[in-house]
Amino acid sequence: MSEYKLKVCGMKDPGNILEVASLNPAYMGFIFYPPSKRFARELDQAVLQQLPPEIKKTGVFVNASQQEIEDKIKAFRLDAVQLHGAETPDICKALRTGGIEIIKAFGIDEHFDFHILEGYEDCTDYFLFDTKTKGHGGSGKAFDWGLLRKNVSGKKYFLSGGIDLPDIREIQQLGDPSLYALDLNSRFETEPGLKDPEKLRLFFKHINNNAANAATEDI
Ligand SMILES: O=C(O)c1ccccc1NCC(=O)[C@H](O)[C@H](O)COP(=O)(O)O
């Protein structure tokens, strides 16, 4: 089994960004959505440029205009964008032309029609499955992962929504070859936008320990 990539989302504090970067997540997410408690209002461009190039700087948007997204890509030298609203395949395609990685997020509940994904197959790099909420993300709530059995797309996806330390074993047992990355956010916070590096360190340490029955007493 290959290792899960890890994404830490909702970063905004300069010191905290650098602390979390020392754990080497594959992705770090910055939220450019003003209503979010994690809105990166005064994100420090200089701090982002200190991040190792292996960490993909990911801008998270909800129904932003193409111009706004492109401005942020340029200003913060983003590697990826994560689109959390009702963005169309056309906007995904237009943004991707610029060479940026496109992660299209979908809110999942029992009513989600997985056929919607068909329109996004050719214009995105990854899907992200999050819990359906009015707030678009960062709810701290998990959806029923059993619903993913209805996903017939072979595209790699990020699993998101309320992931926490006690979920490690269940995630290891999902055994889905399309599951590419895990998105961590509010369950690893001491306050909105501020991550607990020690709690993240524990998750990082145990999640890719492939022996599903490995000792996890320190969790
Ligand atoms: O985190 C937010 O506040 C947020 C608000 C609006 C759109 C997206 C948002 N977060 C995007 C993420 O990738 C989160 O990590 C994802 O929603 C899961 O968050 P959580 O349920 O807190 O683990």
Whole-prediction pTM: 0.95
Give me the pLDDT at residue 2, please. Answer: 73
Rounded distance from Cα 36 to ligand 1 centre (Å):
9
The helix/strand/coil state of 156 is coil
Where on the phi/psi map is residue 87: left (φ > 0), alpha (ψ -120 to 50), or beta?
beta
Give me the pLDDT at residue 32, please. Answer: 98
Pocket (CB within 6 angstroms of ligand 1): 9-10, 29, 31, 33, 36-38, 60, 62, 84, 130, 135-140, 160-163, 183, 185-187
Extended beta strands in 99-188, E state: 101-108, 126-131, 157-159, 179-184
Nearest Cα neighbor of 103 from 116, 187, 87 is 87
Rounded distance from Cα 139 to ligand 1 centre (Å):
6
- From 12, 32, 58, 60, the mutation candidate for ligand 1 (largest count of ligand atoms within 8 A of CB) is 60
Query: What's the CATH number of domain 5-207, 3.20.20.70, 3.40.190.10, 3.30.70.20, 1.10.238.10?
Result: 3.20.20.70
Which atom of ligand 1 is least distant from the CA of 33? 6
pLDDT per residue as tens digits for the range 57-102:
999 999 999 999 999 999 999 999 999 999 999 999 999 998 999 9
Rounded distance from Cα 167 to ligand 1 centre (Å):
17
Asked if residue 189 lies in contact with residue 164, where contact means CB atoms within 8 angstroms, the answer is no
Give residues with Cβ within 8 angstroms of 56, minimum separation 6. Answer: 26, 27, 28, 79, 80, 101
Give me the pLDDT at residue 12, please. Answer: 96
Query: Which residue minimizes the CA distance to atom 6 of ligand 1?
Result: 137
Query: Which residue minimizes the CA distance to atom 8 of ligand 1?
Result: 137
Spans of the chain, pLDDT less than 70: 1, 210-219
Domain boundaries, the chain: 5-207
Query: Which residue minimizes the CA distance to atom 14 of ligand 1?
Result: 138
